[in-house]
Structure 1
C-alpha cells in the first residue's frame, strides 16, 4: 500500500487540513466512520450473540475506524496529538480537533465579520495579475465557506469583474 501524502495539522491550518483529510478518508472508504461513530458491542456476550454477517460487518467497521484514526494520528503535530491521544474512535478524534481548532460559534462569527470586511475591501493591485487577484478572492471566499458562509458564484464573479 502506498502511503498518501498527508498535510500536517497545525494551530493555523485547520480549514485546509480538514478538507484534505475528508478527501483522504473518503478515498480510503473511511469518511463515514467520522460521520457515524463506530459502536462497540456492550460486552463480549453481546458480540458473541451476533450473527456471522453482523460479526463480519463489525470487524469491517472496526478496521475502517482504526485505519481512519491512524491517518489522523499521522496528520497532526505533537500538541494536537496530545489532544486526541486518548480517543478510541475516529469520530471522537475528529470532533476533539474540530472543537479545539475551529473554535466556538462566537469566534466563528467574529472571524466571519473580518472575512466579510476583507472581501469587501479586496481590490486588484496595479502590479497584480488577474490570476493572482482571482486567487486572493477565492482564498477569502474559501475561508468564508469553511466558517459557514457561502457567497455564491454570482457575488464572487461580480467582485472579480468589478475590480
Structure 2
C-alpha cells in the first residue's frame, strides 16, 4: 500500500512475498512509470558498441542511471527469498523476468482459487438462525475474494443472490423489495 511521500520517494513501498505477485506487480508498474524507468524494466536497453559516439554514450549513461534507479526499487520491494533470486541479475529487465518466472504459478493458483470461491458462492445460503447482517457480510466477503482473484461481479448479481438465498422467514420482505426497487441499479449497501 502506498503511503504519503517524502519528496518523490514513497514512504511505504509494497513488498513482494510468496502470496501477492499480481497486486505487487501492478503496484510496481505504477511506481516504475511514476519514476520514469518503466521502459528499461520492460524493454531493457542496448549495450554500448565499441567506438560509439559521444551522443550514444550520453544516452547509454542515462539508461544505466534509469536501470540502477529501477533496480533500487526492486531491491527495496522484495522479501529476502525474492532478493536472493534477483541478486545476480545484471539489469532490471533480467531481474523482472526472473520474478515473473518464479511467480508464474500465481495466475494458475488464482484460477484454482477462483473456482473454489465460485463453488462456495453458488452453494451459499442463509442459515436458519443467522442474522441478516452476518449473512450479508459472508456474501460480501466471498464476492470481495472473488473480485481479488479476477472475477467481475456486479452489485445486481450480489443483490439478486442475497434476495434469492435469504431464509424463508424473509420471503415477504424479498417480495416487497422486488416490487418497490429496481434491482438493476440497487446497490448492495442500499439493500
Q: State the TM bucket, normalised to the shorter chain.
A: 0.7 to 0.9
Distance 1:158 1:109 in 2: 28
CA distance in 2, matches of 1:92, 1:67: 14
Question: How far apart, in 1, do the equivalents of 2:9 and 2:65 lie?
Answer: 17
Could you tell me which residue of structure 1 aligns to residue 159 of structure 2? Answer: 161
RCO comparison, higher one (Cα < 8 Å, 6+): 1
RMSD over aligned Cα, in angstroms? 2.8
Say which is worse superposed, 80-89 or 131-140, in terms of deviation.
131-140
Deviations 1:69-127 (A, max 9, x none): 11001111111111000101111111111111232xxx744541331331353258743
Q: How does 1:70-89 map to 2 (within 5 A)?
A: 70-89=72-91
Which of the two has higher C-alpha Rg?
Answer: 2
With normalisation by structure 2, the TM-score equals 0.64
Structure 2 SS opposite 1:59? helix
Alignment-derived partner of residue 143 in structure 2: 137
Aligned length: 147
What 5-or-longer segments of structure 2 have no aligned partner?
Answer: 1-6, 127-131, 163-191
1:112 aligns with 2:119: no
Cα distance in 2 for residues equivalent to 1:39 and 1:49: 12
Instruction: Compare the two structures and name the one with the higher helix fraction.
Output: 1
CA 60–124 in structure 1, closer or farther in 2 if over 3 Å, else same:
farther
Note closer, same or farther for the CA distance 1:40–1:131 as it changes in structure 2 (3 Å cut).
farther
Residue 115 and residue 63 in structure 1: after superposition, are their counterparts in 2 closer, same or farther (change >3 A)? same
- 1:127 is paired with a residue of what secondary structure? helix
Deviation at 1:21, TM superposition (A): 0.9
Mapping of 1:1-163 within 5 angstroms?
1-4=7-10, 5-42=12-49, 45=50, 48-52=51-55, 54-103=56-105, 108-109=107-108, 111-122=110-121, 123=124, 126-128=132-134, 133-134=139-140, 136-144=142-150, 151-152=151-152, 155-162=153-160, 163=162
The answer to whether the 8 Å contact 1:38/1:89 transfers is no
Tell me the residue number matched to 1:147. Answer: none
Which runs of 5 or more structure 1 residues have no equivalent in the other structure?
Answer: 145-150
